[in-house]
Amino acid sequence: MAKPIKETPFLSGTDAKNFVRENKEVVKASKEEKEQIRASYEALKEIAQFAI
C-alpha cells in the first residue's frame, strides 16, 4: 500500500501568519499564463472520454 494522501493541517502560529501575508494581495496571472492555461484545458478537454 502506498503512502496515504496527507491531510491539510489547521494552520497556526507562523504558518498562519505566513499564509495570511502571502494571500493578502494576490498577483494576477499574466495574459501569457492565462493563454497557456486555456490551451492545456482545451487540449485535455478534447481527449476526455467523459463530460466536462
Partner 1 sequence: MLFKEFKLIRLNSETNILPFDCGNTDLNGFLFDDAKNYANELLATTFIIQLETETVAYFNYLNDKISHAEIGNKDTFLNRISSLLPAGKDGYTSYPAMKIGRLAVSKNFKGKGYGRDILNFTKALFVDNNRTGCKFITVDAYRESLDFYLKNGFKYLSSRDKKSDTRLMYYNLGSLSDY
Binding site for partner 1 (CB under 8 A): 1-3, 5-6, 8-20, 22-23, 26-29, 34, 36-41, 43-50, 52
Q: Are 29 and 37 in contact (CB under 8 A)?
A: yes
Residue 31 CB, nearest distance to partner 1 (Å)?
A: 11
Residue 26 CB, nearest distance to partner 1 (Å)?
A: 4
Q: Are 26 and 19 in contact (CB under 8 A)?
A: no
Q: Are 19 and 11 in contact (CB under 8 A)?
A: yes
Residue 45 CB, nearest distance to partner 1 (Å)?
A: 8
Residue type, 46: E
